[in-house]
Amino acid sequence: MKNIVILISGRGSNMEAIVRACAAEGWPARIAAVIANRPDAEGLAFAQANRIATNMVESRGKTREAFDAELAAVIDSHAPDLVVLAGFMRILTAEFTLRYAGRLVNIHPSLLPAFPGLHTHARALEAGCKLAGATVHFVTPDLDHGPIVIQAAIAVKADDTPESLAARLLPVEHVIYPRAIRWFAEGRLAVEGTRARLRPNADGNIEPQWLFGEDA
Ligand code: GAR
């Protein structure tokens, strides 16, 4: 049984999708804790209602180093096998990412390595991209880079706005992120150099590490 700790900053809809899939699909894992860096993170209420341990580690007014050290101590108190960044809007120190090397994942709303950082959809529209998407990846010290686990792409419409793209992409994120975490929980996912390697499932099938379209 693997312990999963999920970090959020706000709404927490990806966290919610992971919690639901873990229960519905009977993963060999438990959500050990949900940790927020903002007291008003809406997702905390869902976690509490589902009797998941919650912690709040306020990030405001602290140096990056001090916050990350405090955060790591709280995370480690839950003995995590995997730490999941789910809309966790903080840049992490290299020291923090290396502490959890190979057991720290993130979802980013672009087809990495395109558009790391903020305002991904506005930048994709500005560049005239015909596909937009999301990427689940292992976290390394290099912001929004690291071995790619799964990507999903959707077609960009002529009248898309950053908001409409984000709204159409979110349900797709809710499919790929739980899928990636199930793979990890099943012990089938590992980092090999710059790449994430997925081993076949019990039936000997290798599931695709990509998804296209909104009918996920
Ligand atoms: C998601 O769209 C996620 O991809 C994005 O924030 C949103 C969080 O929503 N993450 C980032 O931008 C990370 N740089 P949620 O709180 O409802 O899961």
Tell me the pLDDT of the chain averaged across its residues: 97
According to DSSP, residue 93 is labeled P
User: What's the pLDDT score for residue 216?
Assistant: 61
Give the homologous superfamily in CATH for domain 1-100. Answer: Formyl transferase, N-terminal domain (3.40.50.170)
Domain ranges of the chain: 1-100, 106-216
Which residue(s) pair with 85 in the sheet?
A: 7, 106
Going by pLDDT thresholds of 50, 70 and 90, the confidence category of residue 214 is confident
Active site residue 174: no
Q: Give the CATH class of 106-216.
A: alpha beta
Going by pLDDT thresholds of 50, 70 and 90, the confidence category of residue 215 is confident
pLDDT (tens digit, 9 = 90+) per residue, 118-167? 999 999 999 999 999 999 999 999 999 999 999 999 999 999 999 999 99
Averaged pLDDT, 1-8: 98
| Cβ pair 147, 191 in contact under 8 A | yes
d(C-alpha 88, C-alpha 69), whole Å: 16
Identify the residue whose C-alpha is closest to ligand 1 atom 9: 87
Provide, rounded to the nearest whole percent, the portion of the chain with pLDDT above 70: 100
pLDDT (tens digit, 9 = 90+) per residue, 70-97? 999 999 999 999 999 999 999 999 999 9
Identify the residue whose C-alpha is closest to ligand 1 atom 8: 87
Q: How far away, in angstroms, is 98 Cα from ligand 1 center?
A: 22
User: What are the tokens at 194?
Assistant: 């710059």
Select which of 108, 121, 137, 174 is catalytic: 108
d(C-alpha 22, C-alpha 31), whole Å: 8
d(C-alpha 126, C-alpha 135), whole Å: 20
204 annotated to a ligand binding site: no
Same fold, 1-100 and 106-216: yes
Q: How far away, in angstroms, is 97 Cα from ligand 1 center?
A: 19
